[in-house]
Structure 1
């Protein structure tokens, strides 16, 4: 096969491909085998007609046409893999020569991923959560632990928020007590909202032995919809109310144990308050750091999107939208929910939902192109060692040898996508090192705290965790490569599919 690529305007290229005689002859043999299997001739069972008999009965031009239908797409896929054409859409193929005889020559015009030039990416400023646990957060967690061991003690004072009060509660309507709204010696935590919100506000300030009466909407009454609220009907019924009579029989507060080494040793796995505090600091800081790592990537991705002034190809937008749709469908299916059910449950219209997917697909495409632009501008390319490390990671998850993974990725045309993915990771890390990153107080954040493990870059492109590679015989859409490509599995992906 001979192939040559020529750039065209509008992010397109023209690939001219000429098939070798041996290549087409192989496709022609396949066509005759297929025709023989499908042939119905008197005296022969279907699929048992000898090929020579079929050739004597079937026009050779028909077989040639069938062979061209097989050979041309196959040759196109092979050509764009060898030429590393970054195709993002389905090709427009035209047969130039060989329709009836002679060498088969065709041209394919296909849209490719554009190479953008963006400005201002070296001076980005973002604010993210503090990756360190604050003293107040640590103290709050320790207090929550102490609360589990607290005791209720009588409080000789008016009721305050979070107190536990013992009540006689009577709820009635038109003088009739309501079951479920009436109780004696009922222990209630002020502020919990466990009965009606008005109960909490009316209890504050009362003392032991005092009573109060108030009215509140019936919590069991149907909630008025927006349509009902906008109704002009003059006789719309008022929501029913309940009259509550409350008597305070006792006030208690939760008394926490003193924070001492003795209590820590008795109640926890640690021996001292310092050890307990250090453990909370370590755990909370790990959580905060993970949150900060995600936030900085999302914020930088958003900042990059603002720098992309060119329109992105519709094929990339729709590919991203379709990816979002498939990812959501998989997530919902794990909970036994179909996408249509989800839309009904959330009250979303299909058109609005589709528009939302398209918007996210456009954002995803802009982030991808912007990171590629940063990588190209800064000369950020994966080294051979980094490529081998990633291949080893993919091979491990695919449970194959690294050389098998390398061969499969190359044969599936995924090596350029793998290199691009690694380059985008390096671009994001470069931005983290270069950007001005502060916490909510305005203090600078150490970029080293925001770096991820090389194989934990699930969100570093601003995409969704769970991106899948487009593998197999379809043109590479430039999505991150996953382990499935390494074990030789193929999954043809149509970048024109609509959400």
Structure 2
């Protein structure tokens, strides 16, 4: 087999492949055998019909077509390997020549990974915000902990912010009940928000037994966003009684003996979480800084497909949130043109980042072992709320394992880039990202492994500001 490649653009190639007829013979024999099993010819047993008889009964052309269809995928893959091309999509294949007993020739046009030089990332500089833990942050966590152990007392007074009310809701449109827009005996904290516009305002001042009607918009169902009248009735008003934050509470709510120890642990846990957020920001900042040093040609069909996918995702999220695109743009203070431009920028950055991380993984000769793959599958299953074994079986059955491996390799590549960078906070302190553990604590440098604890986290985008 001979093949030649023509570069149509930095991201598209055309393969011309010439296959000698003798290389088609195994596929031709298989085609005759398959057809012999499918036809009935008097005087011959099924499966024992000679090729010459099949040529008369079915036609040589039909046999050749079946043989060519069998050979093309294998010859295409072989031609890709011969020319070191990495395809990004399904090819457009055309048989340009088929001379019986002589030669088969076909062309294949396909989007391919672009070639580019990986910029030097050793000592790359990036900056992130300081980790700040305020007393207000700590007290907010302490308050949340107290609320977990709060008791509810029925009160005979109008509801106020922070109270828990038991209520019924019923929506109507033009006087007719809206199907599915009704709830009963639901507990709701006044002032919490996130449900129906106008609900908190309506509840303020209502007592047990009161009813009220207010105007709002539906946030789900077929009539999402529709104007409706909502009748709310309150059957109970309850006041939260929070336990004192003292030594007795510490012993009941934690493994600590004193409130002081529990308070210190809350601050420490908050700090760990902030450090993890800072580390994620550092990864984004380093990758963004590296992307600024490189230009990678992108396949426009790949960009268009990803743009369409993300638009659909945004629209779906808006439906779930009960928002229209107009309302979303108003809240974000964006025009539609600005939204589209920002979305395209993020898509192009994301695709460029994937190509860059793939190239770094190849340059660094990174690999993935079975344990890393297993851990990654378990983590992905947990993120999607699925059983790990069922998730793994699905990935294997649908041939998604190469995608999982690529995610791990990109995570390792990003970890290598970040570890070689110099990341400082706003105060000028150099961050110790290499020894940061998954819980936000720091490992003893003497015991730290060579790979970053974040090495398997896939990096989809350098920044996300949607």
TM-score, normalising length: structure 2 = 0.56
CA contact (8 A) 1:196 1:219 kept: no
SS of the residue corresponding to residue 448 of structure 1 reads: coil
Offset from partner CA, 1:357-384 (integer Å, 9 cap, x none): 86654332122234356x38xx9413xx
Q: 1:275 aligns with which of 246, 258, 261?
A: 261
Distance 1:149 1:312, change over 3 A: closer
CA contact (8 A) 2:415 2:454 kept: no
- The equivalent of 1:50 in structure 2 is 49
Structure 1 Cα separation of the partners of residues 140 and 199 of structure 2: 27
Distance 1:195 1:223, change over 3 A: closer
Distance 1:344 1:163, change over 3 A: closer
Shift of 1:293: 3.5
The 5 Å alignment of 1:444-483 reads 444-448=430-434, 457-462=456-461
CA contact (8 A) 1:86 1:113 kept: yes
Structure 2 Cα separation of the partners of residues 199 and 58 of structure 1: 80
- The equivalent of 1:422 in structure 2 is 409
The 5 Å alignment of 1:314-393 reads 314-318=300-304, 320-321=306-307, 342=319, 346-347=323-324, 361-372=347-358, 375=360, 380-382=363-365, 387=367, 389-393=368-372
Structure 1 Cα separation of the partners of residues 82 and 309 of structure 2: 26
Structure 1 Cα separation of the partners of residues 461 and 266 of structure 2: 30
Structure 2 Cα separation of the partners of residues 58 and 364 of structure 1: 52
Shift of 1:265: 2.9
CA contact (8 A) 1:316 1:362 kept: no
**Higher share of residues assigned strand:** 2
Shift of 1:289: 3.6
SS of the residue corresponding to residue 104 of structure 1 reads: strand
SS of the residue corresponding to residue 110 of structure 2 reads: strand
CA contact (8 A) 1:20 1:103 kept: yes
- The equivalent of 1:60 in structure 2 is 60
Structure 2 Cα separation of the partners of residues 195 and 419 of structure 1: 47
- The equivalent of 2:382 in structure 1 is none
Offset from partner CA, 1:171-201 (integer Å, 9 cap, x none): xxxxxxxxxxxxxxxxxx997799864997x
Distance 1:135 1:113, change over 3 A: same
CA contact (8 A) 1:425 1:460 kept: no
Structure 2 Cα separation of the partners of residues 364 and 421 of structure 1: 16
SS of the residue corresponding to residue 87 of structure 1 reads: coil
- The equivalent of 1:246 in structure 2 is none
Shift of 1:220: 1.1
- The equivalent of 1:220 in structure 2 is 214
The 5 Å alignment of 1:184-263 reads 197=201, 220-222=214-216, 257=244, 259-260=246-247, 263=249
Structure 1 Cα separation of the partners of residues 191 and 377 of structure 2: 53
Structure 1: unaligned runs, 5 residues or longer: 153-160, 165-188, 203-217, 225-238, 240-251, 333-338, 400-408, 466-499
Structure 2 Cα separation of the partners of residues 372 and 119 of structure 1: 13
- The equivalent of 2:448 in structure 1 is none
Answering whether residue 71 of structure 2 is matched by residue 71 of structure 1, we say yes
The 5 Å alignment of 1:42-191 reads 50-52=49-51, 53-81=53-81, 83-95=83-95, 98-117=98-117, 123-128=124-129, 130=131, 135-146=135-146
- The equivalent of 2:278 in structure 1 is 292
CA RMSD of aligned residues (A): 5.8
- The equivalent of 1:32 in structure 2 is 32
- The equivalent of 2:443 in structure 1 is none
Q: 1:394 aligns with which of 368, 373, 389?
A: 373
SS of the residue corresponding to residue 88 of structure 1 reads: coil
The higher radius of gyration belongs to 1
Structure 2 Cα separation of the partners of residues 220 and 416 of structure 1: 50
Shift of 1:77: 1.8
Distance 1:380 1:415, change over 3 A: same
Structure 1 Cα separation of the partners of residues 375 and 149 of structure 2: 47
Structure 2: unaligned runs, 5 residues or longer: 153-159, 164-188, 206-211, 219-228, 230-238, 327-335, 379-395, 439-451
Structure 2 Cα separation of the partners of residues 223 and 346 of structure 1: 10
Distance 1:267 1:324, change over 3 A: closer
Structure 2 Cα separation of the partners of residues 259 and 220 of structure 1: 43
CA contact (8 A) 2:246 2:258 kept: no
CA contact (8 A) 2:190 2:200 kept: no
Structure 2 Cα separation of the partners of residues 148 and 397 of structure 1: 33
Shift of 1:43: 9.2
Structure 2 Cα separation of the partners of residues 148 and 18 of structure 1: 72
SS of the residue corresponding to residue 447 of structure 1 reads: coil
- The equivalent of 2:449 in structure 1 is none
Structure 1 Cα separation of the partners of residues 351 and 4 of structure 2: 25
CA contact (8 A) 1:13 1:110 kept: yes
Shift of 1:32: 2.3
CA contact (8 A) 1:3 1:15 kept: no
TM-score, normalising length: structure 1 = 0.53
CA contact (8 A) 1:432 1:447 kept: yes
Structure 2 Cα separation of the partners of residues 253 and 31 of structure 1: 78
